[in-house]
């Protein structure tokens, strides 16, 4: 490894990677570092094993969760407007050659219930996307479910 660099970039989030690439394209010698063992920084998408290592160190994911490759969990969900400013920047900088676009099959949230009578509880819930999911969702009270159903009917 060389000892001198023009630029040192810390982190492997999208902004840091674009910045690093731009410096490199302009002939700068770049050292790109990350404190994590995975790419993406706080916005990374983790497979099941890496996710378990991050939040339950020393434990292994249950076998009934399926293959490690079946999972790709965003630490921070990212939605990109199809004709938004970010897409224009990504196209202009040609970063899109290194990205994979995928439609979202479902959105989930992590919910922690503080200590109650018996124990602390941690849940992962699917964010409702249909009227049936709204009815079944434990994320909302009865009034929120009614408003959400009305909103879904309005936008349909």
Q: What is the pTM of this model?
A: 0.54
Asked whether the predicted pLDDT for residue 82 surpasses 80, the reply is no
Three-class secondary structure of residue 10 per DSSP: strand
Instruction: Tell me the pLDDT tens digit for each residue of 14-47.
Output: 889 889 988 998 999 999 999 988 888 888 888 8
pLDDT of residue 42: 82
- Domain extent listing, the chain: 107-156
Instruction: Tell me the pLDDT tens digit for each residue of 83-123.
Output: 788 888 888 888 778 777 777 777 888 776 666 666 566 67
8-state DSSP, 107: -
Mean predicted lDDT score pLDDT of the chain? 84
- Those residues whose C-beta lies under 8 Å from the C-beta of residue 122, and which sit 6 or more positions away, are 110, 111, 112, 113
Instruction: Tell me the pLDDT tens digit for each residue of 55-70.
Output: 888 888 888 888 888 8
Contact criterion met (CB below 8 Å) for 76 and 43: yes
């Amino acid at each position: 490894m060389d000892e001198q660099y023009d630029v040192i970039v810390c982190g492997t989030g999208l902004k840091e990677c674009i910045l690093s690439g731009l410096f490199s394209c302009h002939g700068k010698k770049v050292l790109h570092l990350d404190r994590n063992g995975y790419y993406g920084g706080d916005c990374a998408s983790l497979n099941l094993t890496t996710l378990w290592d991050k939040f339950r160190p020393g434990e292994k994911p249950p076998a009934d969760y399926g293959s490690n490759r079946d999972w790709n969990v965003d630490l921070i969900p990212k939605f990109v407007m199809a004709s938004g400013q970010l897409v224009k920047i990504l196209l202009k900088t040609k970063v899109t050659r290194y990205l994979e676009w995928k439609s979202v099959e479902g959105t989930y949230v992590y919910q922690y219930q503080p200590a109650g009578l018996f124990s602390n509880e941690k849940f992962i819930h699917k964010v409702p996307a249909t009227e049936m999911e709204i009815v079944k969702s434990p994320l909302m009270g009865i009034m929120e479910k009614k408003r959400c159903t009305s909103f879904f009917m309005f936008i349909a």
